[in-house]
Amino acid sequence: MKNRTLILSMIVLSIVGTVRAQVLPTYLDETKDIEERIEDALSRMTLDEKIAVIHAQSKFSSPGVKRLGFPDFWTDDGPHGVRPDVLWDEWEQAGQTNDSCVAFPALTCLAATWNPQMSRLYGESLAEEALYRGKNMILGPGVNIYRTPLNGRNFEYMGEDPFLASRMVVPYIQGMQSKGVAACVKHYALNNDEEYRFNVNVKVSDRALHEIYLPAFKAAVKEGGTWGIMGAYNLYKNQHNCHNHILLNKILKEDWSYNGVVVSDWGGTHDTEQAIKNGLDMEFGSWTNGLTDGASNAYDSYFLAQPYKKLIQEGRYTTKELDEKVRRVLRLFYRTTMNRQKPIGFLCSESHYNAALKIAEEGIVLLKNDHNILPIPADARILVVGENAIKMMTVGGGSSSLKVQREILPLDGMRKRFPIVDYARGYVGDTIQSYNGVKVGRSLYDLRSRETLIAEAVEKAKEVDYVVIFGGLNKSDYQDCEGHDRKDYALPYGQNELIEAVAKVNPRLIYVNISGNGVEMPWLKKVPAVVQGWFIGSESGEALARILSGDVNPSGRLPFTWYQQLNDCGAHALNTYPGTWRENEHIIDEEYKEGIYVGYRWTDKQKIKPLFAFGHGLSYTSFNIGRPVASANEITKDEQWSVVIPVTNTGRTAGAEVIQLYINDTKCSVDRPVKELKAFQKVFLQPGETREVTLTIGIDALSFYDETTRLWKAEAGEFNALIGTASDKITQQLTLKLKD
Ligand code: BGC
């Protein structure tokens, strides 16, 4: 009986299979391998259809292949929330009423969590918002290295260290793509300042390229499996990076076996033949600057549109290159628009707000806390000072600007948490009313003089127990914003004067810096507590109040070196920024003379004391780092090495410590940094609790990029494993030998 049923079901199944095969063409048959489906779809496409899918049809979309059932493909910024819709062919707001999103913290804050689980949560949550909004690709995350604190877009990136950025970018991509939304990792590569981004030709050693500027992209490709990469505006070896032979053909596609698409930055394509030959797959935003300018209905004139078709028709090119691009685009379609397993998504859910809050709380960094002045007691009388306490920071900054359903401002967060909170403006910075058509909340106009504003803050400061100044930068032009760099390292709008004046009358002063960059702090000795508050999105006020009140114990760690002064940074000490204009050419050569010595690698080498070191961050509790025990004293090239470190929370509050492992090569045929981050782990501990943290490294952690062989290489001999809780707080050292 059993056997008969089995045979019967097998017959039915095989009939269904045959019928299905007859009805469904291979390219639509989900039981078939994607590569097979791609080839089938490709063989059915006309030349026009092929040309159409490799360039935009509107500001943010490209067409699918309607005749075959491939829907339009929609991209959107990115990287901190889903950008509001603009009109089809204009930068102007579309005026939708269903495109308000949750703003997640900017990526410097995410990196500052030093917690890859937060990246995963970030990617998943953002993808769910994207799905609801009908977006198939998010233009992010950004992983350009923090080379100078003047870079207007550092806030969109993950700091100065290639290892940290790599560990943080991978789960973001995996989380996002697990929902069927493509990540588009940007801006590949060497886009490390903004001011002349369309004209900069970067000159960098192969070693610095591979050791500092490429690892996060490589991890995004090889470990994260990203489906999209965005070429950068600038040039490398005199070729624009959106069609750069070495970066795209050689490194990305050949060496790293990348099988996703290369998307141009908006307006980053310049030449049809280069775009055909040098690795570009999808052209977006030509004749626009990606932000404001843009020619209408230019799509047919895109470099990869009619001009490309003409070259094929004239016989100058076969469809070989075109088919290769289309294959990648079809692969992208199968991963996103044609992926029937992907969820529907939802917008502005409590789970997304919770994710934004959690990431913000874990990323805020307590930089200084003399005499444990923080946390602020619940019944304290508090004066909040500063424009950044009342200014929306989810708007502005360029293409990452958002339209949020809600943004809790710092003053509102403080008022919700503490009963007695007064406010003084203190300074006036940016009073713009709307950005890209999105209103900036309440009016910030205040015509009082600088002296009057400071005098008011000082008078009020005398009457309270604590003063909290929310200052910093604000995502307006030149103040952490796409398109321009900061003009100098100082705080703008007379904030230094304000801080000095308030510090004189009230010693319980807490300064909360809102920015994605370090700033000069000439008054630091006079201010007992400093918090780095980043641009943290929808839940800003809530997260900051929770940290300041001690409801949440700060656990963020700096993802970059906070220099005392600009010249403490290699790029500036060597006078390499912004570069030298070529005579009669629109090209500015910027030579990265500091080579691999970026961030702490530079300050270590030069023995410069930073204001706050890479990896630094305080807590309301204390930790004891016990004696590390290594798995071995020596390893071969194929073995891994681990170290177990007991960590104890010795204070009275639950909290988290970040155990960091740096490697120092004691002897090498090439110059090597004093130390380099190679492993880390954040560990959460209850008061009195001890946990063992295991950090593991392999040969990669001991290697450098050998410019002569163009391979990574580790030389046998002795290495030091430096263990600590910041790059300037190394408490333990072990020796490890790499055998021949
Ligand atoms: C930016 C990209 C952005 C694109 C689309 C460009 O100006 O550089 O990061 O994704 O515009 O808005």
What's residue 93's pLDDT? 92
Which of 333-347, 373-387, 434-448, 484-498 is least confident?
Answer: 434-448
Per-residue pLDDT, averaged over 445-456, amounts to: 97
Q: Give the model confidence (pLDDT) of 253-310 as tens digits.
A: 999 999 999 999 999 999 999 999 999 999 999 999 888 888 989 999 999 999 999 9
What's residue 439's pLDDT? 87
CB 464 within 8 A of CB 382: yes
pLDDT score of 239 more than 60: yes
**Does any ligand 1 atom lie closer than 6 A to the CB of residue 290?**
yes
| Nearest CA among 615, 567, 629, 603 for reference residue 727 | 615
pTM, two decimals, is 0.96
Token pair for 124? 């998943």
What's residue 17's pLDDT? 53
Strands (E), 675-716: 676-685, 690-697, 704-706, 711-713
Q: Give the model confidence (pLDDT) of 660-685 as tens digits.
A: 999 999 999 999 999 999 999 999 99
CB 503 within 8 A of CB 525: no
Separation of alpha carbons 469 and 494, rounded Å = 13
Pick from 266, 283, 292, 436 the residue to mutate for probing ligand 1's pocket: most ligand atoms within 8 Å of its CB.
266
Q: Top-level CATH class of 622-740?
A: mainly beta
What's residue 28's pLDDT? 98
**652 three-state secondary structure:** coil
Q: What are phi and psi of 222, to 5 degrees?
A: -80, -35
Angle between helix 215-222 and 162-177 (nearest 10): 30
**β-bridge partners, 647:** 625, 691
| For the chain, percent of residues with pLDDT exceeding 90 | 94
Torsion of CA 261, 262, 265, 269, to 10 degrees: -120
pLDDT score of 94 more than 80: yes
| Cα 207 to ligand 1 centroid, rounded to whole Å | 28
What are the Cα distances from residue 2, in Å, to 10, 11, 443? 12, 14, 77
Q: Give the model confidence (pLDDT) of 12-49 as tens digits.
A: 555 555 555 568 999 999 999 999 999 999 999 999 99
Per-residue pLDDT, averaged over 630-647, amounts to: 97
**290 three-state secondary structure:** coil
pLDDT score of 445 more than 80: yes
CATH of domain 353-568: 3.40.50.1700
| Nearest CA among 528, 411, 506 for reference residue 461 | 506
Averaged confidence pLDDT in the chain: 96
What are the Cα distances from residue 209, in Å, to 220, 280, 412, 671? 16, 20, 45, 16
What's residue 291's pLDDT? 87
pLDDT score of 529 more than 80: yes
What's residue 292's pLDDT? 86
Q: What are phi and psi of 135, to 5 degrees?
A: -100, 140
pLDDT score of 89 more than 70: yes
**Does any ligand 1 atom lie closer than 6 A to the CB of residue 78?**
yes
**Strand 676-685 versus strand 655-665 pairing type:** antiparallel
What's residue 436's pLDDT? 82
* Residue of 76, 77, 265, 568 marked active site: 265
Backbone CA torsion sign across 252, 249, 191, 484? negative
pLDDT-derived band at 440, boundaries 50, 70, 90: confident
pLDDT-derived band at 406, boundaries 50, 70, 90: very high
Q: Is 412 a catalytic residue?
A: no
Pick from 92, 265, 286, 289 the residue to mutate for probing ligand 1's pocket: most ligand atoms within 8 Å of its CB.
265
CB 89 within 8 A of CB 61: no
**Does any ligand 1 atom lie closer than 6 A to the CB of residue 266?**
yes
**Is 622-740 the same fold as 353-568?**
no
What's residue 20's pLDDT? 53
Q: Which CATH architecture has domain 34-335?
A: Alpha-Beta Barrel (3.20)
Placement of tokens 């052209």 in the chain: 283
Neighbouring C-beta atoms of residue 479, cutoff 10 Å: 22
The domains of the chain are located at 1-32, 34-335, 353-568, 622-740
